[in-house]
Amino acid sequence: MKKLVVLSGAGMSAESGISTFRDTGGLWEKYPIEDVATPDGFFKNPDLVLRFYNDRRKQLMSVKPNKGHELVAELEKDFDVTVITQNVDNLHERAGSKHIIHLHGELTKACSSRNPNDSRYIKELIPEEYEIKVGDKAGDGSQLRPYIVWFGEAVPRIETAVQFVKQADILVIIGTSLNVYPAAGLLNYAPDHAEIYLIDPHEVQVSSSKTIEVIRKGASEGMAELLARFRK
């Protein structure tokens, strides 16, 4: 079976009703990155940051995977698939994808604020725990925080992601503006023989000399077109 890697971003979940970050009306227009997505922002106003992620976590219960997520899961019938996602939602899982690398963390998990990557203190939250409050403690006694990779923090799963991209026969990039590194640099690890597709309804600036087949469509329609091409 050929190895296929999907690299997804916020646009993957847009048709499920989750806002992207950098499009007009995107999340970073309403909530400055420095306030809600940096360790410094959390230090200055933990309550605001916890509320921001509590709201997004609770939103997960009212949204569902879209056709695009479902078609990504369907790729597993024909390929050995790894999904590398920058998204912190759980929509790829819920659509049935089996092998998912979350580069930027997961909304449904919480961790220690002293050592966010200490696996002993990373826990899956049940819906009754979706509201993290100031004073809630992680297993090491520090303030419990969302298991999210903030700007300025290391991206622990990037090395694993690189290894999968290096082995890919096909790389499919969906719904990411490729603004945020190291995720945006992953495509440069694709081997020379790999076919690279990019699905996005808008133009994406790609800083790579690789040949990329662009499908200028939303995630659902774009994935349908890709599957039709594969099955020809």
Residues annotated as catalytic are 104
Binding span for ligand OAD by CB under 6 A among 11-19, 43-51, 53-61, 138-146: 11-19
Using rule CB under 6 A, residue 84 touches ligand OAD: no
Take residue 66 and report the two structure tokens written for it.
């879209």
3-state per-residue secondary structure call for the chain: CCEEEEEECCHHHHCCCCCCCCCCCCHHHHCCHHHHCCHHHHHHCHHHHHHHHHHHHHHHHHCCCCHHHHHHHHHHHCCEEEEEECCCCCHHHHHCCCCEEECCEEEEEEEECCCCCCHHHCEECCHHHCCCCCCCECCCCCEEEEEECCCCCCCCCHHHHHHHHHCCCEEEEECCCCCCCCHHHHHHHCCCCCEEEEECCCCCCCCCCCCCEEECCCHHHHHHHHHHHHHC
**Among 75, 175, 198, 223, interactor with ligand OAD by CB under 6 A:** 175
From the CB of 216, what's the least distance to ligand OAD, in Å?
Answer: 10
**Which residue lies nearer to ligand OAD by CB, 27 or 81?**
27
- The number of residues in the chain equals 232
Q: Shortest Cβ distance from residue 89 to ligand OAD (Å)?
A: 10
- # binding residues, ligand OAD (CB under 6 A): 25
CB of 122 to ligand OAD, least distance (A): 17
Q: Pick from 162, 180, 212, 214 the residue near ligand OAD by CB under 6 A.
A: 180
Of 161, 176, 194, 215, which lies in the binding site for ligand OAD, with binding defined by CB under 6 A? 176
Q: By CB under 6 A, is residue 41 in contact with ligand OAD?
A: no
**Binding track, positions 141-170, relative to ligand OAD; x by CB under 6 A:** --------x---------------------
At 89, give phi and psi (nearest 5°): -80, 175
Choice between 138 and 223, CB closer to ligand OAD: 223
Q: Which residues bind ligand OAD (CB under 6 A)?
A: 9-11, 14-15, 20-23, 26, 37, 86, 104, 149, 175-177, 179-180, 200-202, 204, 218-219
